[in-house]
């Protein structure tokens, strides 16, 4: 069911405590990829237009102790200010008298960014004392951090239980896209799964064997399936713990109406380097000592053909080691097929989204989920604390 959003509540003039996910990659003290910051601009701009005082909270990285100079949010505030073309006041604390004074002096439309929420050990424990200290700064709580919604932390879940809570636009978009995908996918529903490990995604595979019409497998994951069938995969990176899962999935697929589709040819190379000797071989003919690093051209073409006729496609996980040009082709063919597909197209996963961005195809997808782990957890059917704590639109 759709969540109550900032548009469904009288937010005008309120102090809005807004959880965003500004956990962005940094390089030389600057933001290296601002996709996540941009994704929350519509919510921040809307609240400013409504005369809210906007108090932003985010985590950044995994700080080991109470403060880590490399993980302060100053570079993020700088980039946000540039994107908003408005001053963003970065505070050096998450709570306390300094924050209290800063918030008290805010004017409608002002934006403040609190310090890295994970500097406070109570954040990850969803400690009520932190929740109440933070709640004093806001009249309403807005969650726009879908990608952190699988965590039950003070700023992602706790605050929603003590203040009038609602979703930001990015959160609402992610939930709507994934909800439609699992509840009522357009048929035929094609799922493309790749990436590194079967064990990471076994519950997702399981869910899609119930839900999808075709499940196309690529990436290192496909090599685990080939190996589980008894084929030799040479020196390919295959996760041993994944093999029983792959066997189970193949067994389930026999009874399922969903077809599980595996590569029939593979790009094999004698090393994981750009200038390795590379060869297209049959999926049952990877030479001893060589590794499978991409799906082969016949497989890529077949997958593209299946995607072309899909009513809906969900893709997670690259088809090969796309970071190296000689092994990027399978991923690129799949991305291009999705871009051209007239059906609904959804891409999720850190590396898959990076690949789509690199190919310049992100704007041609219907939805690019920045959710990563949260998206997969949602698809598995897990109750995400950051979503579950927000009231539904009707109920609000
Ligand atoms: P996502 O972040 O989209 O969920 P994953 O993290 O599961 O994807 O997997 C991405 C990684 O898998 C990439 O770094 C890619 O290089 C790697 N990968 C894909 N295919 C292979 C392969 N055949 N051998 C080794 N690594 C692979
Ligand atoms: Mg990844």
Domains with residue ranges and CATH for the chain: 6-171 (3.40.50.1260), 185-380 (3.40.50.1260)
Number of CB atoms found within 10 A of residue 240's CB: 9
SS3 359: coil
- Sign (positive or negative) of CA dihedral 291, 314, 350, 251: negative
The predicted structure's pLDDT at residue 61? 95
Q: Ligand 2 mean position to 23 CA, how many Å?
A: 15
Active site residues: 36, 197, 350, 373
User: How far is the C-alpha of 93 from the C-alpha of 100, rounded, in Å?
Assistant: 10
Residue nearest to atom 22 of ligand 1 (CA): 220
Ligand 2 is an ion; residues with CB less than 5 A from it:
350-351
In this structure, the strands spanning 15-19 and 53-57 are parallel
pLDDT in tens, the chain (396 residues): 799 999 999 999 999 999 999 999 999 999 999 999 999 999 999 999 999 999 999 999 999 878 899 999 999 999 999 999 999 999 999 999 999 999 999 999 999 999 999 999 999 999 999 999 999 999 999 999 999 999 999 999 999 999 999 999 999 999 999 999 999 999 999 999 999 889 889 999 999 999 999 999 999 999 999 999 999 999 999 989 999 999 999 999 999 999 999 999 999 999 999 999 999 999 999 999 999 999 999 999 999 999 999 999 999 999 999 999 999 999 999 999 999 999 999 999 889 999 999 999 999 999 999 998 999 999 999 999 999 999 999 755
Q: Is the CB of 320 under 6 A from ligand 1?
A: yes
Spatial CB neighbours of 297, under 8 Å, sequence gap ≥ 6: 265, 280, 329, 333
Q: What pTM does this model have?
A: 0.92
Q: Is the CB of 195 under 6 A from ligand 1?
A: yes
Q: SS3 helix, strand, coil % of the chain, rounded to 5?
A: 40, 20, 40
Q: Is the CB of 242 under 6 A from ligand 1?
A: no
Q: Ligand 2 mean position to 317 CA, how many Å?
A: 7
Task: Pick the atom of ligand 1 nearest to 353's CA.
Answer: 3
Q: Is the CB of 220 under 6 A from ligand 1?
A: yes
SS3 130: helix
């Amino acid at each position: 069911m759709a969540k109550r959003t900032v548009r469904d509540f009288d937010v005008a003039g309120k102090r809005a405590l807004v959880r965003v996910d500004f956990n962005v990659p940094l390089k030389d003290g600057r933001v290296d990829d601002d996709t996540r910051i941009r994704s929350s601009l519509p919510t921040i701009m809307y609240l400013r237009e409504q005369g809210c005082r906007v108090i932003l909270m985010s985590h950044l990285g995994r700080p080991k102790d109470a403060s880590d100079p490399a993980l302060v949010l100053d570079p993020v505030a700088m980039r946000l200010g540039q994107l908003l073309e408005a001053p963003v006041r970065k505070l050096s604390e998450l709570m306390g008298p300094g924050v209290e004074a800063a918030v008290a002096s805010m004017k409608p439309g002002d934006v403040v960014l609190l310090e890295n929420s994970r500097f406070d050990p109570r954040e990850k424990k969803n400690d009520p004392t932190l929740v109440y200290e933070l709640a004093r700064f806001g009249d309403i709580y807005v969650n726009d951090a879908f990608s952190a919604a699988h965590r039950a932390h003070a700023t992602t879940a706790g605050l929603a239980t003590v203040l009038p809570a609602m979703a930001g636009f990015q959160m609402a978009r992610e939930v709507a896209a994934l909800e439609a995908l699992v509840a009522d996918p357009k048929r035929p529903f094609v799922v493309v799964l790749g990436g590194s490990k079967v064990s990471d995604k076994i519950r997702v595979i399981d869910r899609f064997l119930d839900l999808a019409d075709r499940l196309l497998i690529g990436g290192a994951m496909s090599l685990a399936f080939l190996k589980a069938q008894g084929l030799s995969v040479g020196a390919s990176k295959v996760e041993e713990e994944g093999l029983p899962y792959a066997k189970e999935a193949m067994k389930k697929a026999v009874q399922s109406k969903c077809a599980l589709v595996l590569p029939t040819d593979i790009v094999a190379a004698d090393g994981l380097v750009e200038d390795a000797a590379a060869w297209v071989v049959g999926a049952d003919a990877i030479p001893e000592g060589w590794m499978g690093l991409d799906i082969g051209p016949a497989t890529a073409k077949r997958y593209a053909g299946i995607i072309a006729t899909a009513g809906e496609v969900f893709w997670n996980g690259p088809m090969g080691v796309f970071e190296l040009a000689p092994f990027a082709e399978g991923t690129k063919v799949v991305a291009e097929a999705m871009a051209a597909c007239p059906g609904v197209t959804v891409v999720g996963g850190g590396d898959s989204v990076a690949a789509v961005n690199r190919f310049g195809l992100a704007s041609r997808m219907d939805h690019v989920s920045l959710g990563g782990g949260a998206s997969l957890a949602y698809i598995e059917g897990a109750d995400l604390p950051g979503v579950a704590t927000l009231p539904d639109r009707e109920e609000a």
